[in-house]
């Protein structure tokens, strides 16, 4: 009885998890490109909210954002490019666990840096990135699954 309930309620079809990974990675890539277009305005010291102002007069506490360490436009563009690479690797399923964690750190850092534009969609995306770190998203339709077979 318990094994049947465990199989029914505590398992996921690997194909569904893989499709979730692909859809999440595509969403994150599109969203990162959309934010990248306004990176100079939203994430640099020359924009609407400088790093020191964001840290000293935080809109909420506690705050964590790796974007607080980057203040010029070139630095922010480099970080966005690295995040696109991680999201592309997540999309194809290469080193999926690490890429899911890297994606979670980047997406939550990006959203935490500009709380004044946050909405419910950001929260849902953050939660999906969090769950991607724990779901078996690498078992199908990925480079890791291809190598294992």
Neighbours of 8 (CB within 10 A): 8
Measured between alpha carbons, how far apart are the two ends of the chain, in Å? 33
| pLDDT of 146 over the 80 cut | yes
Give the global pTM.
0.89
Q: What is the mean pLDDT of the chain?
A: 91
pLDDT tens track for 4-31: 888 888 888 999 999 999 999 999 999 9
Specify the higher pLDDT residue, 136 or 52: 136
3-state secondary structure of 124: helix
């Amino acid at each position: 009885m318990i094994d049947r309930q465990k199989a029914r309620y505590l398992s996921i079809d690997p194909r569904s998890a893989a499709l979730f990974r692909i859809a999440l990675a595509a969403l994150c890539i599109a969203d990162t490109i959309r934010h990248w277009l306004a990176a100079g305005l939203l994430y640099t010291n020359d924009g609407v909210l400088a790093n020191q102002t964001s840290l000293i007069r935080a809109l909420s506490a506690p705050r964590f954002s790796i974007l607080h360490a980057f203040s010029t436009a070139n630095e922010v563009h480099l970080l966005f490019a690295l995040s696109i690479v991680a999201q592309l690797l997540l999309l194809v399923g290469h080193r999926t666990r690490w890429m899911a964690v890297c994606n979670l750190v980047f997406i939550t850092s990006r959203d935490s840096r500009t709380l004044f534009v946050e909405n419910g969609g950001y929260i849902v995306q953050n939660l999906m990135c969090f769950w991607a770190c724990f779901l078996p998203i690498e078992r199908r339709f990925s480079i890791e699954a291809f190598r294992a077979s």
